[in-house]
Amino acid sequence: MISDYLLLSATGLMAVTIVAVASLKGWQGWLQLKTRELEMHQPEIERAAGSGAARIEIADLKERIRKLEAIAAGVDL
C-alpha cells in the first residue's frame, strides 16, 4: 500500500518536473525571439551609435531634454 503511494507521488513529481523544464525552455526561446525582434527594429541612430553624426544627434537630444526639464521645473534659461 505504501509503495503504491510512493510510486504515485514519484510519478507526479516527475510529471511536474518535466512540465516545468519544458515551460522554462519555451520561455527562454520566446525571450530570445523577442530580443531578436527588438534588435531588428532598432532605429537608425542606435545602429550607427559609433559614428560621429549619431553622437552629435544624441548629444543634441540630451540637450533638448535638459531644456524641457528646466522649463518643467520653472527654471529660466
How far apart are the C-alpha atoms of 12 and 3, rounded to whole Å?
14
pLDDT given at position 2: 76
DSSP states along the chain: -HHHHHHHHHHHHHHHHHHHHHHHHHHHHHHHHHHHHHHHT--HHHHTTTSHHHHHHHHHHHHHHHHHHHHHHT---
pLDDT given at position 24: 95
Cell of 30: 520566446
- Print the domain residue range for 25: 1-41
- In terms of domains, do 24 and 58 share one? no
- In terms of domains, do 31 and 58 share one? no
In one-letter notation, the amino acid at residue 11 is T
pLDDT given at position 44: 59
Domain count, the chain: 2
- In terms of domains, do 29 and 52 share one? no
Q: What is the mean pLDDT of each run of 10 residues along the chain (77 residues)?
A: 89 97 95 89 60 78 90 76
- In terms of domains, do 61 and 35 share one? no
- In terms of domains, do 25 and 61 share one? no
pLDDT given at position 48: 54
